[in-house]
Amino acid sequence: MNKVEFDITEAQRLFLAETSRTASYIGGLGSGKSFVLILWAFLQAMKGRTVLYILPSYPMVRDIAFPLIMEIAEKLNMLDHTNLNRSNATLTIGRGTIMFRSAETGDRIRGINAHDLAFDEAAFISKNFYLMAIGRVRKSEDSMIRAVGTPCGKTWFTEFDILFTQSTFANPFIPKAYKDQLAREYVGEFARQELYGEIINSDGVQQLLSTRDINLAANRVPVVSSGEPIVGGLDVARFGDDKSVLILRQGNKLLKIKTWSRIRTTELARAVSDICIDMGVAVLVVDSIGVGGGPTDQLVESIGSEVKVVEYNSGYKPQNPKYYNLRAESYHELQRWIGTSGSIKGAPQEFLDELLQIRYNIIGKNKIIIESKDQMKKRMHSPDKSDALSMTFWEVANKSALQSKTKKKKKAIRRRSAWAR
């Protein structure tokens, strides 16, 4: 292998050279967290070691880890000696191995024996999973555990033996114009966490929606034009304890919340159809993943001529590239609505408490992601109402609502013209 000099910061260099059993690299946007951890894992594998590399979800493995590992292999002139098997998420380098796994379930790491352990985007990985994973590191007595992430208060990886930190502004490889823009847009505790990587324990640090904004929205009197289209969001229950939720919104006003427990999909579709027709819903956004596919088809068949039924998949590509997926983009439109003009006056306290539990993080190339439903359920009930409301802010749905309104208006004009004759 030819020697290659990487453009890395002093904090990254010290992290790579650290020999303590546990060490964390904590930083803000663009501080090179994932890059330095992938590089560390690659260097460990080049020594013939097996590294278990954990990310919160498999899409992150695919979208973050795989491209970075191949970039590093190319820079080290090791492409001919490196084999990435994407089907089983394993990279081999000579006698060394990096096994990429997600933290979505403990079954992903059962039966694995490794020398070293790496956690990427550690803020989105629970301490219980961490404790389970360290039991997999048993191939040698000199095992090392590394974690990187943006802190959301004190947590398991901020209490490691050695802690390296780096702010966004300390990274000389980020364009100055980008850093200047972030300095203008990020303020207060949000900036301290997301740009300086500080460990802060206070209200609102992890929350997408602040307590203040939710309280204001809960007491705000809505100002709504009667001509604004009504948009509905339907989150279909996936498990026995979850609830199916229909939420209707008209402009700045939350109109209706309806929940069902343990209802057959055919009965759910029939009930939702009746409500949509009675309320004059223009567009209904349905979470069509998994069991949502059946109700979606039934709703299209039953009310498709009167209501535009739109299939929603949280993993869709967002229109704004700063978001990781459509779910993150939808939730941040909800955040903007709550913080500016939206009214949730009359909503039950349970719903307000649920909104307060929504958390976000920054991953990969500075993309915003919302904590998954499965992760949320480990510390609260399923966020079915929040998901349903966020779906109503999908831009595609709102464009459909406006088009539907225009078509109905033209249809009414044609009817009046016919009557005039």
Provide the residue type at 226 as one letter: S
**Over the range 368-377, which residues count as b (16 or more CB within 10 Å of their CB) and which as e?**
bbbbebebbe
Local structure of residue 320 (DSSP, 8 states): S
Q: Which residue has the higher pLDDT, 412 or 82?
A: 82
Mean pLDDT of 259-280: 93
Residues of the chain with CATH 3.30.420.240: 211-406
**By mean pLDDT, which of 189-203, 253-267, 293-307, 318-332 is the weakest?**
189-203
Structural class in CATH, domain 10-194:
alpha beta
Average pLDDT, the chain: 85
Residue 389 has pLDDT above 70, yes or no: yes
Any residues with CB less than 8 A from the CB of 396 and at least 6 apart, and which?
310
Q: CA 151 to CA 189: how far, in whole Å?
A: 12
According to the model, what pLDDT value does residue 247 have? 97
Of these ranges, 3-12, 36-45, 155-164, the one predicted with the greatest mean pLDDT is 36-45
Of these ranges, 28-32, 334-338, 409-413, the one predicted with the greatest mean pLDDT is 334-338
pLDDT band at 403 (very low <50, low <70, confident <90, very high): low
Q: CA 120 to CA 61: how far, in whole Å?
A: 9
Residue 378 has pLDDT above 80, yes or no: no
According to the model, what pLDDT value does residue 175 have? 85
CB of 235 closer than 8 Å to CB of 387: yes
pLDDT band at 344 (very low <50, low <70, confident <90, very high): very high
CB of 343 closer than 8 Å to CB of 221: yes
Q: What percent of the chain has pLDDT over 90?
A: 50
CB of 14 closer than 8 Å to CB of 164: yes
Please count the other Cβ atoms lying within 10 Å of the Cβ belonging to residue 55.
29
Q: CA 237 to CA 338: how far, in whole Å?
A: 25
Q: CA 283 to CA 229: how far, in whole Å?
A: 8
Q: Residue 51: which region, alpha, beta or left (left: phi > 0; alpha: psi -120 to 50)?
A: beta
Q: Which residue has the higher pLDDT, 111 or 386?
A: 386
CA 265 and chain centroid, separation: 27
Q: CA 394 to CA 396: how far, in whole Å?
A: 5
**By mean pLDDT, which of 13-27, 68-82, 85-99, 237-251 is the weakest?**
237-251
CB of 51 closer than 8 Å to CB of 136: no
Q: CA 202 to CA 334: how far, in whole Å?
A: 22
| Residue linked to tokens 């989105």 | 124
Q: What is the CATH number of domain 211-406?
A: 3.30.420.240
Residue 354 has pLDDT above 60, yes or no: yes
According to the model, what pLDDT value does residue 416 have? 31
Please count the other Cβ atoms lying within 10 Å of the Cβ belonging to residue 199.
17
Residues of the chain with CATH 3.40.50.300: 10-194
Any residues with CB less than 8 A from the CB of 35 and at least 6 apart, and which?
12, 68
**By mean pLDDT, which of 57-71, 153-167, 366-380 is the weakest?**
366-380
Residue 17 has pLDDT above 90, yes or no: yes
According to the model, what pLDDT value does residue 198 have? 76
Q: pLDDT for 94-147, tens place per residue? A: 999 999 999 987 777 888 999 999 999 998 898 889 999 999 988 888 999 999
Nearest C-alpha neighbor of 328 from the set 387, 272, 278, 377: 387
Mean pLDDT of 40-47: 96
Of these ranges, 94-103, 232-241, 369-378, the one predicted with the greatest mean pLDDT is 94-103
Rg over alpha carbons for the chain, rounded to the nearest Å, is: 24
Residue 200 has pLDDT above 70, yes or no: no
**By mean pLDDT, which of 134-143, 203-212, 366-375 is the weakest?**
203-212
Helix axes 349-356, 211-219, angle to 10 degrees: 150
pLDDT band at 5 (very low <50, low <70, confident <90, very high): low
Provide the residue type at 347 as one letter: A
Please count the other Cβ atoms lying within 10 Å of the Cβ belonging to residue 100.
28
Provide the residue type at 389 as one letter: L
Tell me phi and psi for residue 296, to 5 degrees: -60, -50
Any residues with CB less than 8 A from the CB of 9 and at least 6 apart, and which?
31, 32, 166, 170, 171, 172, 173
According to the model, what pLDDT value does residue 120 have? 96
